[in-house]
Amino acid sequence: MTGLFLAAGMASVDYVALVDAFPVPDEKVRTENVQVLGGGNCGNALTCAARLGLKPRIITKVAEDANGRSILAGFDGDGVDTSYVAITKEGTSMFSFVIVDQQTKTRTCIYQPTLPTMVPDDLPRSRLSSAMDGARFVYLDCSLHEIDLLVAQEQAARMNIPIVIDAERKTPVFNDLLHLASYVVCAENFPQFWTSAPSITSALMSLLLQFPRTKFVIVTLGCNGCIMLERSCLGEDPKMEAVDVDSLIESLKLRIDKSNTAPLCISSPIMRLSADGIGTVNGRLLLGTAESIPPSELVDTTGAGDAFVGAVLYALCAGMPPEKMLPFAAQVAAAGCRAMGARPGLPRRTDPRLAPFLY
């Protein structure tokens, strides 16, 4: 498998503190477990993909400071190519404070981006062309607005390289990027926020109809798994009876074996799918479950979504069908939740828990 892909986005140092319960205003809380770890959406996803066996290149920016050196060292240790990282002698590298609530198993992040922000002058066209050489996919976490457009519009789209978009929050260039996206992975609240649709499944329909280049959209739902809407390459058949996506997702949920703690995927056949007031599209709906992690093993959900994206990147390079990709990505994300921080728990390709998907 050729696993070279290019990515642009956030890379940071995370200062992760484990507390008994998240503090209320004006309260002081004590922690006896603080760790300094690698972080950032793009950085986490690429570290995950590299441990699975891909050869990612990252476009990002760091300063010549201790955090910047730590970010680069972390990537070098995991096999992420940092040849195209811009390094500034002034400013500060990105860092985050992450508070992990041991009681609720939630995390709260406060971050400062790299300053000054990365701009096209930090990445000459000749360097970008070199970075694109041999890339099978491009992944953007949509945090470097001008760089994202430069990579997507002037290189990936022109070279017909598929683009994977991480849709977590609205940005000034998001609409332009979504029009170029081949694949979209969304955070839970994004589809309805972007489309104002009444349900998650109808929002996924709206996204596919708004952006005709997109082959599939996935929304991650934490411990509730994920939902994927895949466009069929077949054209619309007006004679095919339309099936409401909201009713269809409920019928898929009824097919879940709740006694099975491992991730699994339930899929509809290719159908003419409809959403009231939105439209119809030929495709299929897939429901993925998350691993049921025993409470004694669940440590920290920081970076679980990034791990899921990293596994999806691997699955695309490996040509995995969606029925296999979704439980694989859920398994990878669950492994990461068994350790503190976004990266320490990320599995390597040799992890026996991944063997059913890889061999």
pLDDT of residue 3: 67
pTM to 2 decimal places: 0.95
Quickly tell me which residue has 């909201």 as its tokens.
246
Q: Is residue 255 part of a domain?
A: yes
Structural domain boundaries enclosing 230: 4-9+41-61+79-85+116-358
Find the radius of gyration of the CA atoms of the chain. Answer: 20
Helices assigned H by DSSP within the chain: 41-52, 66-78, 125-132, 145-151, 174-180, 190-195, 200-210, 245-253, 304-318, 322-336, 355-358
Instruction: With beta carbons less than 8 A apart as the criterion, state whether 282 and 231 touch.
Output: yes
Evaluate whether residue 295 is within a structural domain.
yes
Q: Indicate whether 233 pLDDT > 60.
A: yes
The whole-chain average pLDDT of the chain stands at 94
Average pLDDT value for residue range 72-84: 97
Name the CA dihedral angle for 72, 78, 81, 87, rounded to a multiple of 10 degrees: -10
With respect to residue 109, please indicate whether it lies within any of the assigned structural domains.
Answer: no
pLDDT tens for each residue of 287-304? 999 999 999 999 999 999
Read off the pLDDT of residues 163-202 as tens digits, 9 standing for 90 and up.
Answer: 999 998 888 888 999 999 999 999 999 999 999 999 999 9
Overall number of domains in the chain: 1
Q: What percent of the chain stands above pLDDT 70?
A: 98
Whether residue 34 is contained in a domain is answered as no
User: Tens of pLDDT along 130-156?
Assistant: 999 999 999 999 999 999 999 999 889
Round to whole Å and give the CA distance between 164 and 155.
14
User: Is the pLDDT assigned to residue 235 strictly greater than 80?
Assistant: no
CATH of the domain at 316: 3.40.1190.20
Rounded CA-CA distance 270/264 in Å is: 19
Q: Is residue 111 part of a domain?
A: no
CA distances from 90 to 136, 163, 174 (A): 34, 32, 29
> Is residue 338, in this structure, part of any structural domain at all?
yes
Cα 224 to chain centroid, rounded: 16
DSSP state of 92: B
